[in-house]
Amino acid sequence: MSRKKNNMTKSSFPGWIACLILMIATAGATLLLTTEKPEPEPAVQSPIAMQTEENDKDEKKEGDSYVFVDNWFMDTRVKFVLDGIWHRMGNVNEILDTAKRIRHTSELSWFREWSKTAERIESIGDECLAKGHEISAGEAYLRASNYYLAAEVMLHTNPVDERIVKTYKTGADLFMKGLELLSVPVTKVEIPYEDTTLNGYFFRAETSGKAPVLLVHQGFDAPIESTKHIAEEAIRRGYHCLLFEGPGQGLAIREQNLPFRPDWENVVSPVVDYILTLPQVDEENIMLMGISMGGGFAARAAAFEPRLKLCILNPGYVNVYDIISDYLTPSLMNLYEEDPEELNKKMEEIADYEAGIRWGIYHGMWVFGGKTPAEFLDNVKKFDNTPILDQIKCKVLVMDGVSEVWGEGQAKQLYDALTCEKHYMLFTKEDSASEHCQVGAGAIATQRMFDWMDENLQ
């Protein structure tokens, strides 16, 4: 997909940056609030976030050219739910039937319909387990986990909503319960981090002696449980795998209110310290993978963590602020520089326009630790890899797609700036894997990635 600056359509959006793209067309939009602003909380609070059954009465309408839901953001999210099918975390009709029921204007409708499906599948798991059918129960619990985790994401327009933690923990608990019932060799772990801990899942390869280990973290918004396919493909190939949550992710942000930090090496190094306490880990072969915006985080960590043998960035970024400013209109950028308070007002007006835009603004403020849109942009400025890319010494794989629209071109820019041993892996439309993080194409993506790992650990 080709794109000219500030001239993008709504045909393909990879999540949070897409929410900001539409501001170009909607910078002047001002709609009346349909709900009363909640009382101030110590965290970010959206004035339009609290939908109720009373004010959530929109009729489902026909859209333009979306596949699953008549809303560009929700339609993209459905693709990520479908991605779970490859590793038995979803069923086609369960997902498509849920998507059909969602009203495209309503975050509450999204949450309600995915929750209904999740509860129904969880009850199937309970019935199977009560009858002693552990495999059937485990598979149902994994599907329910995927649906619960899908449900809660649209609540992020109001990060203090109590349903966020409850729903996320239910999904995570069912994930672990399902894996245990299916006898997957995995242990839930707590990784020491500063004065607290970070959650993780350690998948053990069935090998004699020590084995290499792959450390994996997500990016802007996806749950680490959604990377189960990477962990299972790793242990099939003789690698241990640790899936972990950093600040700004998972329960670190939901329960501990820990936002992203630009010095990501101070997240990864404690994880490496922890993994080296496990006797089955080959300390000479530690690999790190960052997914989506996590690719930029992982690049930063690799510049300062000398114990990494390989680093996989899927994709990678150089500067998050450049990505955002590239998609904002000059008038909005001028407001940010000259009148931040007016920018905040304008962004609230824009947030009123549409559910996906709303989500991007308030989720971004939450995970980057900003109480206002201007503070969000202030904090994003700190995430700049430009000065440190030449400090990376380990071998690096940069994965990219020709249809990438999240910071289009930045993965190649990062690759070109690297001075270490490196490989650029570009996925095309012919691969059916050209979109953000190869969504919907886990088989070809993991095959190529693990083949590269095999060849470069020799």
Q: Look at residue 42 and tell me whether its pLDDT is greater than 70.
A: no
**What is the DSSP secondary-structure string of 97-113?**
HHHHH--TT-HHHHHHH
pLDDT at 60: 43
pLDDT digits (tens, 9 = 90+) for 307-358: 999 999 999 999 999 987 877 788 999 999 999 999 999 998 888 877 778 8
Residue 170 sits in the same domain as residue 191: no
Query: Into how many domains does the chain fold?
Result: 2
Residue 402 half-sphere exposure toward CB, CA atoms < 13 A: 9
Which of 18-32, 100-114, 125-139, 291-305 shows the lowest mean pLDDT across its residues? Answer: 18-32
* Helix (H) / strand (E) containing 401: strand 395-401
CA-based radius of gyration for the chain? 21
Mean pLDDT over each residue of the chain, to the nearest integer: 87
Is-contact 148 171, C-beta < 8 A? yes
Taking residues 274-298, report their average pLDDT: 98
Which of 223-232, 279-288, 403-412 shows the lowest mean pLDDT across its residues? Answer: 403-412
Residue 377 lies inside a defined structural domain of this protein: no
Residue 294 sits in the same domain as residue 239: yes
Within 8 A by CB and 6+ apart from 133, the residues are none
Compute the C-alpha angle 96/176/247, nearest 5°.
90
pLDDT digits (tens, 9 = 90+) for 237-250: 999 999 999 999 99
Residue 286 sits in the same domain as residue 387: yes
DSSP state of 304: H
Q: Look at residue 401 and tell me whether its pLDDT is greater than 50.
A: yes
Residue 355 lies inside a defined structural domain of this protein: no
pLDDT at 37: 38
Which of 26-40, 225-239, 240-254, 257-271 shows the lowest mean pLDDT across its residues? Answer: 26-40
Q: Could you tell me the pLDDT band of residue 156, with boundaries at 50, 70 and 90?
A: very high
Q: Look at residue 291 and tell me whether its pLDDT is greater than 50.
A: yes
Residue 208 sits in the same domain as residue 284: yes
Residue 208 sits in the same domain as residue 261: yes
Q: Is 305 helix (H, G, I), strand (E, B) or coil?
A: coil
Among 161, 184, 207, the domain boundary falls at 184
Is-contact 137 28, C-beta < 8 A? no
Residue 194 sits in the same domain as residue 165: no
CATH of the domain at 128: 1.20.1440.110
Residue 32 lies inside a defined structural domain of this protein: no
Q: Is 22 helix (H, G, I), strand (E, B) or coil?
A: coil
Residue 415 lies inside a defined structural domain of this protein: yes
Following CA atoms 207, 208, 214, 215 in sequence, which dihedral angle do they give, to the nearest 10 degrees? 110
Which residue, chain included where needed, has tokens 């070809």? 444
CATH of the domain at 208: 3.40.50.1820
pLDDT at 352: 83
Answer positive or negative: Cα dihedral of 267, 442, 205, 228: positive
Residue 323 half-sphere exposure toward CB, CA atoms < 13 A: 26
Residue 96 lies inside a defined structural domain of this protein: yes
Q: What is the rounded distance in angstroms from the CA atom of residue 33 to the CA atom of residue 49?
A: 10
Residue 233 lies inside a defined structural domain of this protein: yes
Following CA atoms 98, 216, 181, 211 in sequence, which dihedral angle do they give, to the nearest 10 degrees? 150
pLDDT at 456: 97
Residue 90 sits in the same domain as residue 190: no
Q: What is the rounded distance in angstroms from the CA atom of residue 199 to the CA atom of residue 224?
A: 10
Among 153, 184, 215, the domain boundary falls at 184
Which of 64-73, 127-136, 257-266, 389-398 shows the lowest mean pLDDT across its residues? Answer: 64-73
Taking residues 6-11, report their average pLDDT: 36
Residue 347 lies inside a defined structural domain of this protein: no
Residue 111 lies inside a defined structural domain of this protein: yes
Among 119, 149, 184, the domain boundary falls at 184
Higher pLDDT, residue 223 or 64: 223
Q: Look at residue 38 and tell me whether its pLDDT is greater than 50.
A: no
For 90, the domain range is: 68-184
Residue 453 sits in the same domain as residue 398: yes
Q: What is the rounded distance in angstroms from the CA atom of residue 307 to the CA atom of residue 281?
A: 13
Interstrand relation of 196-203 and 240-244 (parallel, antiparallel or unpaired): antiparallel
What token pair was written down for 62?
Answer: 């026909």
Taking residues 421-432, report their average pLDDT: 97
Q: Look at residue 55 and tell me whether its pLDDT is greater than 80.
A: no
Residue 120 sits in the same domain as residue 211: no
Query: How many CB atoms are located within 10 Å of the residue 48 CB?
Result: 20
pLDDT digits (tens, 9 = 90+) for 92-109: 999 999 999 998 878 899
Q: Which class for 62: exposed (0-12), middle (13-18), buried (19 or more C-beta within 10 A)?
A: exposed
Q: What is the rounded distance in angstroms from the CA atom of residue 435 to the CA atom of residue 8?
A: 16
Higher pLDDT, residue 51 or 453: 453
Partners of 190 in the β-ladder: 199
Residue 264 sits in the same domain as residue 156: no
Q: What is the rounded distance in angstroms from the CA atom of residue 168 to the CA atom of residue 437?
A: 22
Residue 177 sits in the same domain as residue 225: no
Higher pLDDT, residue 331 or 298: 298
pLDDT at 357: 80
Taking residues 158-178, report their average pLDDT: 98
| Best CA proximity match to 414, nearest among 388, 436, 433, 451 | 388
Residue 198 sits in the same domain as residue 291: yes
pLDDT at 66: 59
What token pair was written down for 149?
Answer: 């985790």
Q: Could you tell me the pLDDT band of residue 70, with boundaries at 50, 70 and 90?
A: confident
Secondary structure of 309-369 in the HEC alphabet? CEEEEECCCCEHHHHHHHHCCHHHHHHHHHCHHHHHHHHHHHHCCCHHHHHHHHHHHHHCC
**Percent with pLDDT over 70 in the chain:** 85
Q: Look at residue 3 and tell me whether its pLDDT is greater than 70.
A: no
Within 8 A by CB and 6+ apart from 267, the residues are 193, 198, 217, 246, 247, 261, 297, 301
- Asked whether the bond before 315 is cis by omega within 30 degrees of 0, the reply is yes
Residue 365 half-sphere exposure toward CB, CA atoms < 13 A: 24
Q: Could you tell me the pLDDT band of residue 68, with boundaries at 50, 70 and 90?
A: confident
pLDDT at 458: 73
The Cα-based distances of 347 to 26, 32, 342, 351, 365 in angstroms read 10, 14, 9, 6, 12
